[in-house]
Structure 1
């Protein structure tokens, strides 16, 4: 039972250390894409520790599981893990971790279903308010204009993705600002930020007692917006992107002293107007490589006895 316990301790250590390191560092705001990569590697390492601990505990508790886990392995490798010495708790630990995996899959499925339902509802609403006229071809259109007294703009995904903009937003934004909004939303779509949001929300909802998943969800919501802002600013400039953000949100009370659900907008505007220098290419490469090695550590721990036996 030592090896599964070591994997669980390793996963707990990564889950405890990662939020403290990343939330206290100043570089994630300067490199949001890199920060998203580091977060994903850390969370993947935590989940991998649980999966490996489940597999080893299950192999120790049940012969059927052992046959699947160690099917291609020689006898010396199986003996190196000393599965018979794990004790009576191996089955309970494996079953508990397996239930956690099933629960995670259920939460992710629910999150995706709710998202698709919201998307279908929004698409039906847009179609009802802005029906296609005779001769129009939806696949070639990427902009839909809706009557509205408040400035709104959002990306409507689907077979024919479109940017939906209210008439109030058109009156307030000029052409370049509108293009910056379009580039921002296209940045979300191209990077598939929706799947990252779904996964982080599923983990945080399914395991509210695990702090790292809640921090992961909050950081993903923030970092994907910063990353999309950078995509827009690289094409149309930081000032244009910042002005577009202000134009869309200045009537929502987000720039006042009272906090609102959109309180991230002032921080995004300040970041665009007073950009901090990016990390050097060498440091970005080091951080990328270090993050990629984090999920490798559980694999080394789990396969260590097998490699020792084969050598």
Structure 2
């Protein structure tokens, strides 16, 4: 029971306190792609730590928990598994009910969002094919006869980019190319899928601060990542000037528009844009991602080690 309780406590601590740390790391200048990975892997780690803790409670003999905590048994006999046997079925039952309820709600929310997204996507495609002019490319671009500067992308297997004639008329050739590169980056980076998953998890598990903050964080970071890709191809200045020109325009729900996200933050990141990524940055990204994923488990191990040292002393 000790290991299960430590894992659950680790998931609670990381779920409640990680958003502040992740926000500070994001503001410290790491690449948007790295920040997205850290946010999502932290959320996965919290979910995995919770699931592992519940499984250790309900499995016969607590699975491998006894073998792991056996070394601490002599030092911490007063609070070991054998000291509180009656709590196991109660805590395990309650935790299982909560976990099953959360999993059911998550599955229903995911299925509902996918159904609505597919329906809106199909209707949008039908309407655009009626009023738009199709540009045959690997990622089709549909041009709307609209004077407003519109630019957004729709993900999925039939991904496409939507732009307006007003956009082409307002922007220079380089700016227009940068906008289209930004939208293609959304499609190639599977940003629609990432934002969709973050939205479903955030709505389902809103009582956890990390999950509640996740959708807005991922939404901003995918825009920063797309800006970074476009700036690498066309330079930061065309992206910046295009963003300022069309900042008031937006796309439909579940689309990723060029005008999305916090404009001030995006302009600041464009001003600090640097091409390329050093090996040290990649190593930091990998190590940070692994730490984020294993954070609840690392917290549990540290807690058990500290408790054993104190009790042995």
Question: Which TM class, normalised by the smaller chain length?
Answer: 0.7 to 0.9
Query: Distance in 2 between the 1:287 and 1:158 partners?
Result: 27
Cα gap change, 1:108 to 1:44, in 2 (>3 Å): same
Q: State which of 124, 127, 133 in structure 2 corresponds to 1:125.
A: 127
> CA offsets per residue over residues 35-83 of structure 1, 9 Å max, x none?
11111221111001111122122225xxxxx7xx95xx8xx85996969
Query: Distance in 1 between the 2:173 and 2:122 partners?
Result: 29
Q: Which residue of 1 aligns with 2:4?
A: 4
Contact 2:183-2:226 at 8 Å conserved across structures? yes
Contact 2:8-2:50 at 8 Å conserved across structures? yes
Of 94-103 and 153-162, more deviation after overlay is shown by: 153-162
Q: Which residue of 2 aligns with 1:191?
A: 189
Q: Which residue of 2 aligns with 1:112?
A: 114
Query: Distance in 2 between the 1:226 and 1:173 partners?
Result: 20
Q: Which residue of 1 aligns with 2:90?
A: 88
Q: Which residue of 1 aligns with 2:289?
A: 291
What's the CA shift for 1:211?
1.4
> CA offsets per residue over residues 249-283 of structure 1, 9 Å max, x none?
2578xxxxxxxx95712331233134479986425
Query: Distance in 2 between the 1:108 and 1:150 partners?
Result: 33
Of 227-236 and 119-128, more deviation after overlay is shown by: 119-128
Of 13-22 and 264-273, more deviation after overlay is shown by: 264-273
Contact 1:169-1:247 at 8 Å conserved across structures? no
Q: Which residue of 2 aligns with 1:219?
A: 217
What's the CA shift for 1:99?
1.7
> CA offsets per residue over residues 210-247 of structure 1, 9 Å max, x none?
21112111110110100010000000000011122122
For residues 138-157 of structure 1, the aligned pairs below 5 Å read: 142-157=140-155
Contact 1:37-1:288 at 8 Å conserved across structures? no
Q: What SS does structure 2 have at the residue aligned with 1:151?
A: coil
> CA offsets per residue over residues 179-221 of structure 1, 9 Å max, x none?
2111111111111111211111111111222211121111101
Q: Which residue of 1 aligns with 2:240?
A: 242
Contact 1:151-1:249 at 8 Å conserved across structures? no
Q: Which residue of 2 aligns with 1:167?
A: 165
Q: CA RMSD in A?
A: 3.4
Q: Which residue of 1 aligns with 2:50?
A: 50
Of 23-32 and 80-89, more deviation after overlay is shown by: 80-89
Query: Distance in 2 between the 1:29 and 1:110 partners?
Result: 36
Q: Which residue of 1 aligns with 2:23?
A: 23
> CA offsets per residue over residues 85-134 of structure 1, 9 Å max, x none?
324332222222122122222222222222222222221220121277xx
Of 154-163 and 223-232, more deviation after overlay is shown by: 154-163
Query: Distance in 2 between the 1:27 and 1:113 partners?
Result: 35
Query: Distance in 2 between the 1:147 and 1:244 partners?
Result: 19
- Residue correspondences, number: 281
Tell me whether 1:266 sits opposite 2:268 in the alignment: no
Contact 1:28-1:35 at 8 Å conserved across structures? no
Q: What SS does structure 1 have at the residue aligned with 2:146?
A: coil
Q: What SS does structure 2 have at the residue aligned with 1:249?
A: coil
Q: What SS does structure 1 have at the residue aligned with 2:175?
A: helix
Q: What TM-score do you get using the length of structure 2 for normalisation? A: 0.77
Q: Which residue of 1 aligns with 2:99?
A: 97
> CA offsets per residue over residues 20-48 of structure 1, 9 Å max, x none?
11223464554111111111221111001
